[in-house]
Amino acid sequence: MISQQQIQYYLKIPFVIPLLPILYWQGKQIQKKVPRLPEAQGTEGKTKGQNSNILKVLGLGESTMAGVGVATHKEGFMGSFADALTALTEREIHWKVIAKSGIKAAGVTQRLLPKIKGEQPDIILICLGGNNAFALHSPQKWEDDCLELIAALQNHFGKETPIIFSNMPPIRFFPAFTPLIKQIVGRLVESYSYQLAGRIRKLPNVYFNNEIVRFNTWRERYQTNATLEELFSDGVHPSPLTYQLWGQDMAGFVWHKILKE
């Protein structure tokens, strides 16, 4: 059955096609202005917990999981997530990141999964969506690529290992982007959220935090007065504060959905 998101996507195609040269030119201008930041260092780490029951977390994904915008993963999403989850569970968290800036969902399956070695994780955490949207992939292709990734992970680690997708990136709020890019690409990535949420509900041990990131909500939830510019390191990628807030938010999601007894 064709979803509402797919219908909306195909209805918008005739209006978007004439704008593609403008989108391309604006994208190139943004690339010139935005500094190319490196990925974070230190792809493995652990927290100190009072509970000796260790929890192993594997992180996969694009630039946000790769920690672009901070020097080390300890300051990034995975380090912040692990610290927050330890605070909730008192468990020691052992975490590992396998991610690549610029990668899409299909690339994780094809290029990153073969690099996975080591022990069985207790939780797999995935951050994706931005690069698929920048490539203007349809909601159906996004869903198909995510389902292929899920199947590959379940084949590798078993169907009992929880797989969690984080929120979609809030492209409509990126300070470095033009209003046109925010509107077209931002709306597309939000359609991914609705598309994936509908499918995830049917899959056991697969979860998706489909809350659309709105920074006003985060400011109220976590009592911060940070400006929009302070929430981004380069106008595109999260600042250390945003990684901290996001990690805390996702830790709460995992706690309530999977670990809370």
Kindly report the CATH class assigned to 4-259. Answer: alpha beta
In this predicted structure, what is the pLDDT of residue 203?
A: 93
In this predicted structure, what is the pLDDT of residue 182?
A: 86
pLDDT at 14 over 50: no
The band of 69, judged by pLDDT with boundaries at 50, 70 and 90, is very high
pLDDT at 13 over 80: no
Tracing tokens 């959220």 back to the chain, one arrives at: 193
Over residues 83-140, the pLDDT tens digits come to: 999 999 999 999 999 999 999 999 999 999 998 987 899 999 999 999 999 888 988 9
Q: 81 vs 31, which has greater pLDDT? A: 81
Percent of the chain with pLDDT over 90: 56
In this predicted structure, what is the pLDDT of residue 110?
A: 96
The band of 221, judged by pLDDT with boundaries at 50, 70 and 90, is confident
Q: pTM (2 decimals)?
A: 0.88
Domain edges within the chain: 4-259
In this predicted structure, what is the pLDDT of residue 261?
A: 57
